[in-house]
Amino acid sequence: MRVATLLVLAVAASAAASDADWWQTALIYQIYPRSFKDSDGDGIGDLNGITEKLPYLQQLGVDAIWLSPIYLSPMYDFGYDITNYTKIAPEYGTMEDFDNLMAKAKALGIRVVLDYVPNHTGNESEWFIKSAQREAGYENYYIWADGTPDPNDASTTLPPNNWVSNFRKSAWEYSTTRGQYYLHQFAIGQPDLNYREAKVQEEMKNVLRFWLDKGVSGFRVDAINMMYEVDPNDYGGVYPDEPLSGDEDAAADDYNYLSHIYTRDLNETYNVVYDWRDLLDEYYMTDGEYKIMMTEAYTELTLMIRYYGTDTRNGSIPFNFSFLENIKNNSNARDMKLVIDKWMTYMPNGKTANWVNGNHDQSRVASRQGSDRVDAMNLLALLLPGVALTYQGEEIGMLDGEVTWEQTVDPQACNTDDPINYWKKSRDPNRTPYQWDSSAHAGFSTTTGDTWLPVASNYRTLNLAAQMAAEKSHYKFYKDVLAVRKLPAVRAGDLETTVISESVLVVSRLLPGYPGVVGIVNLSDEEYHLDLTSIKLLPVQMRVVASGVDCPHKKDEWMRKSNITVTAHCALLLQTVRKCC
Ligand SMILES: *[C@@H]1O[C@H](CO)[C@@H](O)[C@H](O)[C@H]1NC(C)=O
Ligand SMILES: *[C@@H]1O[C@H](CO)[C@@H](O)[C@H](O)[C@H]1NC(C)=O
Ligand SMILES: *[C@@H]1O[C@H](CO)[C@@H](O)[C@H](O)[C@H]1NC(C)=O
Ligand SMILES: *[C@@H]1O[C@H](CO)[C@@H](O)[C@H](O)[C@H]1NC(C)=O
Ligand SMILES: *[C@@H]1O[C@H](CO)[C@@H](O)[C@H](O)[C@H]1NC(C)=O
Ligand SMILES: *[C@@H]1O[C@H](CO)[C@@H](O)[C@H](O)[C@H]1NC(C)=O
Ligand SMILES: *[C@@H]1O[C@H](CO)[C@@H](O)[C@H](O)[C@H]1NC(C)=O
Ligand SMILES: CC(=O)N[C@H]1CO[C@H](CO)[C@@H](O)[C@@H]1O
Ligand SMILES: [Ca+2]
Ligand SMILES: [Ca+2]
């Protein structure tokens, strides 16, 4: 059988995680504050709830938490519509609660990364209200434009052009206060800031400084590639229509109907990201802790790679969503290997890769790929070189919850006005509360009423407490793998991905002078006998250090590389005892 492998040589020399390089191998755990833990029984998760659960995250082994937005907001888009970037949403707590969370996290060795939402504020922001009133100095904080005449009704106007919002329908909303339309690439309550205005750039830098002064370790940056729109001065003073995409499945008011050449991925964006990097580096120079910046952009690979920086400027870590988008429930070992190798090949020299399994916008791994692939996907994300991101609940293999049309609150789903097909657009099912235990509301809340979204009905059997008590569970496997992630071979070793057969992928991490680590996933419904003799660098004897729920193996069991059995859906992690190579 032909064995395809790719070998990526280690670049990082140091194996220890100091304050300078902690981020290069960090496991970052994404918390969606509204759904993590409710400390005061109002049915909504909050900061004190997160603080209460920090010891859990520490024993699990996470390096840093990323909090989805915690700022003052009317919550039309659950915190991504920010009224004030430096105030805490009252339903999540107070600034004192935040300071307390920071102190506890620091004491436990967990770093805190915040969500930064630069593309838009909420429509209740003081800046937006002042801009709508044309208050001196604020006139150009947002993207304003005149309407076009309505041929059928002289008393009214139509939007300035054909641009469509990510959440469907026109991206323009009329402000009676100002007598002009403002742009919103997302919900109506999320007006786009104007980055061609120098004062906006300065204000947004001050937001970064405010939180860095409070001791955060960096930011995850929302929807970065939507930051700039074209300059109307280059188009005769108007914002030009976007061409049709040709997508036949998209209705005229659907985002995919247009090709977004004037509202996405503009070149101006990159310099702003590099400027933010310089600002973060000023703090790094002062306190010696590198501040991470991860940017979210669903775009093509070549544009994505530019966020990393240029020859003369440093940038961010662009999130790679290939795990989410390109690995399907029927992907085989070869497909997975391709996805991994492509990113490793395109990534600029010396930069850090990243692996995202899920987030609050995507269906959960277990729902997307089937529960029997949870261990395999967690193993791959944690074993590959670079930053790994885990969305809350993925460590126990949570499934999407059931949310009826009446219970639906996500604007992306509500905007469909479609009680039958709303679920296709809804992000609510993957935002249902964390399943802590089998008590009422899954231990998420003590409310006597409803939680903000319903708890998934499977919580009585699928919950953390049950998985902690079980001999084998997704949780135990995840924790075992995360412990191995701290080894020098995983932090700094070479990566080799090997397709053994249609359904078996082997990922090894080897570092000269240290024990090596080998992950094996069996994606098929059939049992295999593996012979890894062809992987010359592996020693003959290996020890099981993590064994997934579908594997019969026990931890600490010994295996010979010429004869390894992997049962259906088994994800296995082995460690060599002899030093590599
Ligand atoms: C946010 O609140 C602070 C006071 O806490 C105020 O100084 C600042 O102007 C506000 N910013 C916005 C955008 O409303
Ligand atoms: C903000 O937008 C929402 C719609 O998303 C609307 O209901 C609300 O009235 C707006 N508020 C302000 C202050 O403009
Ligand atoms: C954007 O920048 C790239 C790389 O520098 C360049 O090739 C491209 O022509 C630029 N596009 C525009 C529209 O200026
Ligand atoms: C970019 O970052 C690397 C690693 O932190 C550093 O050595 C280098 O000096 C930085 N380059 C610039 C232009 O800041
Ligand atoms: C991520 O990387 C894959 C290659 O592994 C690439 O095909 C894909 O376009 C990238 N996507 C994003 C959103 O980063
Ligand atoms: C796999 O995905 C396809 C398309 O999304 C879906 O129709 C099918 O039911 C899924 N199968 C499993 C086992 O989840
Ligand atoms: C994968 O699991 C199936 C089903 O148990 C099994 O037949 C097959 O041998 C396994 N593959 C390996 C390499 O062990
Ligand atoms: C993954 C993620 O954070 N997605 C966010 C992108 O931006 C929009 C608008 O701010 C949010 O609705 C998404 O949740
Ligand atoms: Ca609460
Ligand atoms: Ca924008």
C-beta of 428 in contact with ligand 8 (< 6 A): no
Q: Ligand 6: which residue has its CA nearest to atom 12? A: 370
- Say if residue 112 is in the same domain as residue 131: no
Judge whether 101 lies within some domain.
yes
Query: Which of 532, 576, 572 shows the shortest CA–CA distance to 552?
Result: 572
pLDDT tens string 549-575? 999 999 999 999 898 988 889 999 999
- Say if residue 109 is in the same domain as residue 143: no
The domain in which residue 138 lies consists of 120-192+230-263
User: Does the annotation mark 153 as catalytic?
Assistant: no
Pocket test for ligand 4, best of 314, 316, 349 (most atoms within 8 A of CB): 314
Provide the CB-side half-sphere exposure for 515 (13 A, CA): 16
- Say if residue 337 is in the same domain as residue 444: yes
pLDDT tens string 194-234? 999 999 999 999 999 999 999 999 999 999 999 999 999 99
Judge whether 289 lies within some domain.
no
Q: Which residues are within 5 Å of ligand 10 (an ion), measured at CB?
A: 119, 192, 226
The Cα 170–Cα 254 span in angstroms is: 9
- Say if residue 109 is in the same domain as residue 136: no
Question: How far is the CA of 430 from the CAs of 360, 397, 400, in angstroms?
Answer: 6, 12, 5
Q: Tell me the CA–centroid distance for residue 494 and ligand 7, in Å.
A: 27
- Burial classification of residue 100, based on how many CB atoms lie within 10 Å of its CB (0-12 exposed, 13-18 middle, 19 or more buried): middle
Q: How long is the chain?
A: 581
Judge whether 50 lies within some domain.
yes
**Average per-residue pLDDT for the chain:** 94
Tally of structural domains, the chain = 3
The Cα 264–Cα 262 span in angstroms is: 6
Q: Ligand 6: which residue has its CA nearest to atom 4? A: 329
- Burial classification of residue 537, based on how many CB atoms lie within 10 Å of its CB (0-12 exposed, 13-18 middle, 19 or more buried): middle
C-beta of 80 in contact with ligand 8 (< 6 A): yes
Q: Ligand 2: which residue has its CA nearest to atom 14? A: 123
- Say if residue 150 is in the same domain as residue 110: no
pLDDT tens string 403-419? 999 999 999 999 899 99
* CATH label of the domain that carries residue 396: 3.20.20.80
Residues 6+ apart with CB under 8 A from 137: 130, 199
Query: Which of 5, 10, 571, 568 shows the shortest CA–CA distance to 338?
Result: 5
The Cα 4–Cα 233 span in angstroms is: 53
Identify the domain boundary among 399, 434, 469. Answer: 469
Judge whether 342 lies within some domain.
yes
Nearest ligand 2 atom to alpha carbon 132:
14
Rg over alpha carbons for the chain, rounded to the nearest Å, is 25
Its pTM stands at: 0.93
pLDDT tens string 41-63? 999 999 999 999 999 999 999 99
- Around ligand 1, the residues with Cβ closer than 6 Å are 84, 86-87, 125-127
pLDDT tens string 440-476? 999 999 999 999 999 999 999 999 999 999 999 999 9
- CB atoms inside a 10 Å sphere around CB 349: 5
Of 46, 197, 229, 296, which is the active-site residue?
Answer: 296
Percentage, residues of the chain above pLDDT 70: 97
- CB atoms inside a 10 Å sphere around CB 409: 16
Percentage, residues of the chain above pLDDT 90: 84
Judge whether 363 lies within some domain.
yes
C-beta of 460 in contact with ligand 4 (< 6 A): no
Identify the domain boundary among 418, 438, 469. Answer: 469
End-to-end CA distance of the chain: 25
Mapped onto helix, strand or coil, the DSSP state of residue 522 is strand
User: Does the annotation mark 222 as catalytic?
Assistant: yes
- Say if residue 421 is in the same domain as residue 500: no
> 94 near 83, Cβ under 8 Å?
no
Beta strands in 96-242 (DSSP E): 111-116, 144-145, 148-149, 157-158, 172-175, 180-183, 218-221
- Say if residue 508 is in the same domain as residue 553: yes
C-beta of 121 in contact with ligand 8 (< 6 A): no
Judge whether 200 lies within some domain.
no
Residue 261 DSSP class: T
Indicate the range of 70-79, 239-248, 530-539 predicted with least confidence: 530-539
- Say if residue 69 is in the same domain as residue 168: no
Counting ligands in written order, the one closest to the CA of 424 is 6
C-beta of 162 in contact with ligand 2 (< 6 A): no
- Say if residue 390 is in the same domain as residue 521: no
Pull the structure tokens for residue 23: 């981020």
Of 38, 81, 222, 550, which is the active-site residue?
Answer: 222
